[in-house]
Structure 1
């Protein structure tokens, strides 16, 4: 009952302002004000005001909204952790250039070698920087630079 009275008063005030605006020959603005002022009465007549007031004053509804908020925080938090890579297992080592992994090339540390000592993995030497630029040098020579 109180909500209907308040909404009717707001609509009446809005229509009064629209009438004054139309009197000043600002018809487009008056039309917009009249449209906005009819919304509260329309909400009362459709029953949405009672529905909203029923939601606002129930504690179980607020608990539900709280749980939705917690679920949203958990979801977004887990996505943020996933994007930073904090929740992932370490990646396995990449395969060597020949297509075989390092484990396939060298014997494992637990297998004894001929000398009775555990086998060690051979150290690979990095390629020289000249090898990396040989393709570029060939392209430059081809174009006469």
Structure 2
């Protein structure tokens, strides 16, 4: 047994003893689930001591405290935090802009030529009259059995609606 064992043994044993007593009272007052949960937490200090993890956890804890205290009082570290924040804003904005540019480029290459802005005057045909705009070949024609079916998108649900009304649901 070295010096560190002598120091940590009573601390871990004491924490475990207090936890076991608290688990006993929790078992009596709040039931088995609360008592067993508290007993599970209570045996952890002795488990840590017996496995030799006390020194590891102490080293990690002190390193973490030193890093946090150095971080909080360091203007250089806060400058780094500000730069992280700026990057968190700039990268998504750049991705959105890139997607928009790619979508515009895809529209240009689909037609095979660059899209020119619309002229301010209406085009005229050979007779000097206003030319009729050409139909857009990219839009498919609506296919339907009748005019009523095309106008009313819910027309195909009439049978279902009738069944529901018969059953008194709707």
TM-score, normalised by the number of residues in structure 2: 0.45
Kindly provide the CA deviation profile for residues 8-66 of structure 1, in whole angstroms up to 9, marking residues without a partner as x.
1111011112223445583332222211100111111112221121233359x739x96
In 2: Cα distance, 1:50 partner to 1:143 partner: 82
2:50 equivalent to 1:41: no
Higher relative contact order (CA 8 A, sep 6+): 1
Can you give the 5+ residue segments of structure 2 that lack an aligned partner in the other structure? 1-5, 72-78, 123-131, 149-170
Rounded to whole Å, the distance in 2 between the matches of 1:124 and 1:20 is 82
2:147 is matched with 144
When the two chains are superposed, the root-mean-square deviation of aligned CA atoms in Å is 4.9
CA distance, structure 2, for counterparts of residue 142 and residue 25 of structure 1:
70
1:1-80 alignment runs, 5 A limit: 1-23=6-28, 26-58=31-63, 62=67, 77-80=86-89
Which structure 1 segments of 5+ residues have no match?
103-121
Query: Hey, what does 2:114 align to over in structure 1?
Result: 101
Aligned length: 121
For 1:99-132, what per-residue CA distance to the aligned partner results, in whole angstroms no more than 9, with x for missing partners? 1236xxxxxxxxxxxxxxxxxxx86438989967
1:125 aligned residue: 119
> Is the Cα contact below 8 Å between 1:11 and 1:38 reproduced in 2?
yes
Kept in 2, the 8 Å contact 1:7–1:40? The answer is yes
Hey, which of these two has a bigger chunk of helix by percent?
2
Q: Give the structure-1-normalised TM-score.
A: 0.50
Q: Contact 1:14/1:37 (CA < 8 Å) preserved in 2?
A: yes
